[in-house]
Structures are given as structure tokens and as C-alpha cells.
Amino acid sequence: GYKNEGIVRLLLADKNVKPNLSDEDGRVPLFWAAAYGVEGVVKGLLERDDLDPNLTDEKGRTALVWAVSAGREKIVELLLERHDVNPNLPDHNGRTPFLWAAMAGWQNVVELLLERDNINTHVPDNTVNHGHEDIVACLLERPDVDL
């Protein structure tokens, strides 16, 4: 499994191992490692030049969405450190990682995403109705947020 980081690291050192291969649902190893918060595996995958961090599953979700929706703050931080991670890719329902974080009430994750210069801060009206006052207060402090 993904929690045996030593074996995964050995596999990732082999250039014949393809990190972008997906399962029948379009999910790649980075999705699973991000969702379960397996930091060492995420780091190992992100070190691979041939990794595409913006791949999507059958619902249009990226590894960043998987990490955000699970509230994996450290994984979100690792993903955002890689310059080619697009933080604005919406899933098939139009939800961006920022919107996922706001709707879930993950304030620390929202703040991490807001550190990116190019983050899409559009929040649909119904998001405010999720009852996360701390998120709304955080967003209201920013002039670039469209509530």
C-alpha cells in the first residue's frame, strides 16, 4: 500500500515506473497519497519530472482537490510548492480547490490557497450558506475575493 513509503520510494527511483498511470477511475498514485496524507510518497512523486500534477480523475478532480477535500494541509502546501500545479482547475461540477476548501470549512487550507498570486477567489452565493463564519470573515478581509 501507499503507507509503505520505503518501497514506494524504491519504485519511484526506477525511471521505468510510470507515476501517471491511472486505475479504472482515472486515479493516479498522487491522488491516493494526497487523500490519505502520506507525505513521503507525495514528496517522492512530486520529485519526478515526468509526473503531471494536474491530471484529473473521472470527476475532474486533481490531486490538489483530493488533498483539499480531505483537509490535508501539509499535502496542500507540498503541492502548491510545485510551480506547475494549477490551483484553479475546476472539477466537472465547477468546484475549484479554493471552493472545496471554503465549503468544507478548512480555514488553514483556504489561507494556504490564498497565498498563491493567481488563485481564483470566486465563491458562489450558496457557499456562504455553509455556515463557516471563520471562512467568510477571512474572505471578507481580502479585496480580491468576490462574494
Q: Count the neighbouring beta carbons within 10 Å of the beta carbon of residue 145.
A: 17
Residue 134 pLDDT level (bands cut at 50, 70, 90): confident
**55-67 mean pLDDT:** 97
How confident is the model at residue 145, as a pLDDT? 67
Q: Which of 36-40, 67-71, 85-89, 125-129 has the lowest mean pLDDT?
A: 125-129
**76-98 mean pLDDT:** 95
101 within a domain of the structure (yes/no): yes
Residues 6+ apart with CB under 8 A from 29: 2, 8, 19, 21, 41, 45
109 within a domain of the structure (yes/no): yes
Residue 12, domain CATH:
1.25.40.20
146 within a domain of the structure (yes/no): no
Q: Which residue range(s) make up the domain with 46? A: 5-140
Instruction: Tell me what percent of the residues of the chain surpass a pLDDT of 70.
Output: 88
Number of domains in the chain: 1
147 within a domain of the structure (yes/no): no
Residues 6+ apart with CB under 8 A from 57: 22, 25, 26, 27, 31
145 within a domain of the structure (yes/no): no
How confident is the model at residue 2, as a pLDDT? 53
**113-136 mean pLDDT:** 74
43 within a domain of the structure (yes/no): yes
How confident is the model at residue 44, as a pLDDT? 94
pLDDT digits (tens, 9 = 90+) for 13-27: 899 999 999 999 889
